[in-house]
Structure 1
Amino acid sequence: MASSTAYSHRERAGQDGELPTLSFDGGTPYARYGGIDTLLSLQNPVSDEPAETSFIITTQVMELLFTLVRHEWELARDALEADDVPAALAALRRGAGAQDVLVESWGLLATMTPTEFGRFRDGLGEASGFQSHTYRHLEFLLGNKSAAMVRPHRATPEARARLERALAEPGLYDAALRLLHRRGVPVPAERVERDWTSPAPPHPDVVRAWALVYADDRPGNELLALAEALLDTAERMTRWRHRHLMAVKRTMGAKPGTGGSSGLRWLDRNAREDVFPELWQLRTGI
């Protein structure tokens, strides 16, 4: 099939010399494949404020990137459960690339002033990024579990089912600890099998388990490579949270959030929480 497709591409290219194909039945294959016409029909500002278009597109770009990151983290988690560290590392690397774009996407809102935001903020009603089920799925995969956070999505069965499944399954970090246990690293039993619906507080024995991994820093130690890839993931998540905090601080200061939260205080608290805290704590003792 692949060689036949390659021949077909060469054959078509030869028909028009150096020109690309210019005639198609119906829309272009590009638009059909990427759903481009649908994608470009989804920007519907509620005000005449020009900056609102940037706000809407940034929100939509982030949702697409959340979906991509979730896809990669789930692949990484499942690969770890299957003892396939190279596949997990590849997925985490791809996820890190998407996270970098996600962090930088806040730059699309960097020039929006409080006055510009104020001209369309009332049009948002109670809409808030806090309600994003794709972002909540990422938090669950990172281990930040909370059954209460599923409640906003009770009326959307598909999103609710995905979140409930993510709530009940081991997260990305859980899968890494389970892998360490299977490889003979002394991870505490309560971190290998437990109630996955609740977050796990940092455990000193987990810190010591990771310290044993770092003690073998010879090339080829895939457990050490995994630890560093997880830390890359964690650091990028913290960067995203901090950029979110600063974007809100710049555009609306300490006003309450549209979704009912305390706004800046809520975001500041989240930005201060380490992702995979034991991987950070071990660095003090090494």
Structure 2
Amino acid sequence: MNQPPTDAPQGESIVREEKAQLDFSEDMSYGDYLHLDQVLDAQKPLSPEHNEMLFIIQHQTSELWMKLMLHELRAAMGNLAADRLQPCLKMLARVSKIMEQLVHAWDVLATMTPPEYSALRPYLAHSSGFQSFQYRQIEFSLGNKNAAMLKPHAHNPARLAQVRQAYESPSLYDESLRALHRQGFAIPAEWLDRDWTQPYAANPGVQEAWLQVYRNPERYWDLYQLGEKLTDLEDAFRLWRFRHVTTVERIIGFKRGTGGTSGVAYLRKMLDIVLFPELWSLRTDL
């Protein structure tokens, strides 16, 4: 009886090909591309506490997400200033998704109990998320300007220069109002060329411009979408702030923060800040 021909030669060829594909001795590997040795070696606990690894990785990963957020925010603002609204909208949508990642990160940190945090807190000295130069740039880029927030970065001239640039530049909302003006909407002149270091203050003329957009979304579709993307972003940012304050209260109660702030009391004040006021108040008049 004849036997079917064997496919051993073909099988051997596949095995040899797979082995060749698994050899990265002469090519860039996954770990090489991501510099994983450096990234995974960047966790240096100072205490003997098991939970310090969670604390370090929580904040390191948050800083990586913030780096991406700043990358997208700057590009979005550049496109907005050049009236390229479609790529701007895509980038702002991504920024909101990044903020969602940061919101959910608090869920992991909240698994740390007060005794666990108290055991490692003495090893933190005065280091605090309050000193994050990337977070400060994000806040300034979103319009929450405060000269006092430059001081925590004064010891590092390079970092201070980065934060100061965001402080002295138009915010995302300022660029949005300029875009409205270029599209023919009557934005008050003093809101188009103001002192960018000052917090934004709501204006009836600005609200009227946004109302025209929202009452005729088909005609002003891109600007309407811009308004909604800004609202999405502030919505996500509010959630981040809320999860921040509740997580801190859950872990340390009303103790002062390691960076010298009043802790929960300070964070609760931040909940009252509105970044894009007219986009919220106009909804009452629609």
Cα deviation digits, residues 88-140 of structure 1 (max 9, x gap):
10111111221111111111112110010000011111111010000000000
Q: In structure 2, what is the Cα distance between the partners aligned to 1:238 and 1:281?
A: 16
SS at match of 1:257: coil
Counterpart check, 1:228 vs 2:228:
yes
Matched residues, number: 274
Q: Displacement, 1:19?
A: 6.0
Change (3 A) 1:86 1:148: same
**Residue of structure 1 equivalent to 2:97:** 97
Aligned to 1:136: 136
1:28-76 superposed Cα distances (whole Å, 9 cap, x missing partner): 5222211211111111112122111111100001101111111111111
Name the counterpart of 1:9.
Answer: none
Residues in 1 aligned to 2:20 and 2:105: alpha-carbon distance in whole angstroms: 32
Amino acid at match of 1:164: R
Compared with structure 1, are the counterparts of its residues 37 and 209 closer, same or farther at alpha carbon in structure 2 (3 Å cutoff)?
same
CA distance, structure 1, for counterparts of residue 157 and residue 228 of structure 2? 36
> Gaps spanning 5+ residues in structure 1: where?
1-13
Contact 1:210 1:282 in 2 (8 A): yes
What is the rounded CA distance, in whole Å, between the counterparts of 1:59 and 1:144 in structure 2?
22
Counterpart position of 1:275: 275
CA drift at 1:218: 2.1
1:124 is matched with 124
* Amino acid in the other structure paired with 1:273: I
Residue pairs, 1:196-211, within 5 angstroms: 196-211=196-211
Equivalences for residues 1-286 of structure 1 within 5 A: 16-17=16-17, 21-25=21-25, 29-218=29-218, 221-286=221-286
Q: Secondary structure at the match of 1:275?
A: coil
Normalised TM-score (structure 1):
0.91
Cα distance, 1:275 vs structure 2: 2.4
Looking at structure 1, the residues matched to 240 and 203 of structure 2 have their Cα atoms a distance apart, in angstroms, of 26
Q: 1:39 to 1:183 in 2, by over 3 A?
A: same
Whole-Å separation in 1 of the counterparts to 2:248 and 2:228: 30
Aligned 8 A contact 1:114 1:250 in 2: yes
User: Structure 1 residues 224, 15: CA separation in 2 closer, same or farther (over 3 Å shift)?
Assistant: farther
Distance in structure 2 (CA, Å) of the matches to 1:191 and 1:57 = 41
Matched-pair contact (CA < 8 Å) for 1:139–1:145: yes
Residue 25 of structure 1 and its aligned partner are, at CA, apart by: 2.8
Displacement of 1:148 after TM fit? 2.3
CA distance in 1, matches of 2:186, 2:284: 20
**Corresponding letter in the other structure for 1:154:** A
Contact 1:96 1:232 in 2 (8 A): yes
Query: Which amino acid letter does the alignment assign opposite residue 109 of structure 1?
Result: L
Cα 1:15–1:270 shift into 2, 3 Å:
same
How far apart are residue 141 of structure 1 and its match? 0.3
SS in 2 for 1:272: coil
Query: What RMSD in Å do the two structures reach over aligned CA positions?
Result: 1.9
CA distance in 2, matches of 1:232, 1:243: 17
Q: Considering only CA atoms, is the larger Rg found in Structure 1 or Structure 2?
A: 2
Equivalent in the alignment of 1:7: none
Native 8 Å contact 1:128 1:257 kept in 2? yes
**Bigger Cα displacement from structure 2, 94-103 vs 132-141:** 94-103
CA–CA distance in structure 2, aligned partners of residues 20 and 255 of structure 1: 59
5+ long unaligned stretches in structure 2: 1-13
- Counterparts of 1:212 and 1:153, CA distance in 2: 42
Q: 1:186/1:220 Cα in 2 relative to 1: closer, same or farther (>3 Å)?
A: closer
2:47 match: secondary structure: coil
Cα distance in 2 for partners of 1:215, 1:183 equals 16
Q: Decide whether the 8 Å contact of 1:235 with 1:275 is kept in 2.
A: no
